[in-house]
Amino acid sequence: MVEYKPLPSIMNERIAVADMGTNTFLLVIAEKNGGQLKTIYQDRIATKIGKGGINNGLLTEAAIDRAMMALKQFDQKAKELKATKSFAIGTSAIRNARNQEALLTRIKSDTDFVPSVISGDEEADLIYRGVRLAISIPPSKALIIDIGGGSVEFIIADAHQVFWKRSFEIGGQRLIELFHHHDPIEPDEVQRIYQYLSEKLEPLFIALEKWKPRLLIGSSGSFDTLSEIYCDQHAIPYNNKPETPLTLDAFKLISQLVKAKTRAERLQIKGMIELRVDMIVVGCCLIDYLLNRYTFQDLTVSSYSLKEGVLDSK
């Protein structure tokens, strides 16, 4: 078990963090003041750096070019807003790429970002740090799940400590390239995803039976979109606050809806964004599989994740 305590902060320091995800690059610029974070600016760009190479441990040249286009835009905004420090954090697609240095070298030479590539354990730690800034995790424990394009992180924790964590290289882009070949997804493709997850996720279910979390917290990404769809369906204002609503029953209905539609039809769902329209199908399959194997009492969504965790740790 790992216990986390608040870290000392520098007054009025403005920090830029780029989360270099497999599907999306995210930017947050925030000011730290007396241990509090004030978000100044946020942005996101669909870079899809895992496309075409993620299951082969490779960043294609086109992917590196897309990454640099996004980071140069982020770098310009960080300079405009007078960020004192800029960090670019590489996750699954980059940490598993044999040619990751080709990207890191260009980041160092062409931007003011300080790049680093983190392990799956480090990624889980930072996700937890971010989520606990947004959510009051109950003493009865929660399972935090962050579905990325390359990896998926699971963390069992309460508000003060992590009891178990693990990163699995089973992210959305990997699942798409392995299994999702028809539009809409076909039932046998869904079953193949379930079979694949049953082979990969047994350590998770052993941990769930040991620690027995009752709350499921979806961290950012596809969960943000699921929450926005839910809010639109129920006439709830969606304000992208640190914690946004979603229920277990509502998720099951949205999942059925998403899996039954083509890409073009999914784009017509209110609350859906093009950034998530592809990965949300396999993401729903993963969540469905989890809910079929383990019973939670409640579900909520944290719009904070890795990038806020990085801010918390600096």
Return per-residue pLDDT of the chain as tens, 314 residues: 444 444 444 447 899 999 999 999 999 999 987 667 889 999 999 999 999 888 899 999 999 999 999 999 999 999 999 999 999 999 999 999 999 999 999 999 999 999 999 999 999 999 999 999 999 999 999 999 999 999 999 999 999 999 999 999 999 999 999 999 999 999 999 999 999 999 999 999 999 999 999 999 999 999 999 999 999 999 999 988 999 999 999 999 999 999 999 999 999 999 999 999 999 999 999 999 999 999 999 999 999 999 999 999 98
Q: Domain check: are 59 and 141 in the same one?
A: no
pLDDT confidence of residue 240: 80
Q: In terms of pTM, does the model score above 0.75?
A: yes
Q: Which of 120, 149, 184 is the last residue of a domain?
A: 120
Residue at 27 is within a domain = yes
Q: Domain check: are 300 and 157 in the same one?
A: yes
Residue at 101 is within a domain = yes
Calculate the alpha carbon distances from 103 to 47, 51, 168 in Å. 13, 15, 23
Q: Domain check: are 63 and 114 in the same one?
A: yes
Q: Domain check: are 89 and 186 in the same one?
A: no
Residue at 171 is within a domain = yes
Q: Domain check: are 235 and 302 in the same one?
A: yes
Range of the domain at 221: 137-309
Q: Domain check: are 73 and 163 in the same one?
A: no
Residue at 129 is within a domain = no
Q: Domain check: are 190 and 304 in the same one?
A: yes
271 Rama class: left (phi>0) / alpha (psi -120 to 50) / beta: left
Q: Domain check: are 95 and 223 in the same one?
A: no
Q: Domain check: are 292 and 178 in the same one?
A: yes
Q: Which residues pair with 161 in a beta bridge?
A: 3
| Cβ-contact 309, 259 below 8 angstroms | no
CATH of the domain at 246: 3.30.420.150
Q: Domain check: are 94 and 150 in the same one?
A: no
Q: Domain check: are 83 and 171 in the same one?
A: no
Residue at 177 is within a domain = yes
**CA nearest to 169, candidates 292, 284, 57:** 57
Residue at 126 is within a domain = no
Residue at 128 is within a domain = no
The tally of domains found in the chain comes to 2
**CA nearest to 173, candidates 75, 65, 46:** 46
Q: Which of 89, 120, 151 is the last residue of a domain?
A: 120
Q: Which of 120, 151, 179 is the last residue of a domain?
A: 120
pLDDT confidence of residue 34: 66
Residue at 132 is within a domain = no
pLDDT confidence of residue 236: 95
CATH of the domain at 116: 3.30.420.40
CA 160/CA 138 separation, integer angstroms: 10
Q: Domain check: are 283 and 152 in the same one?
A: yes
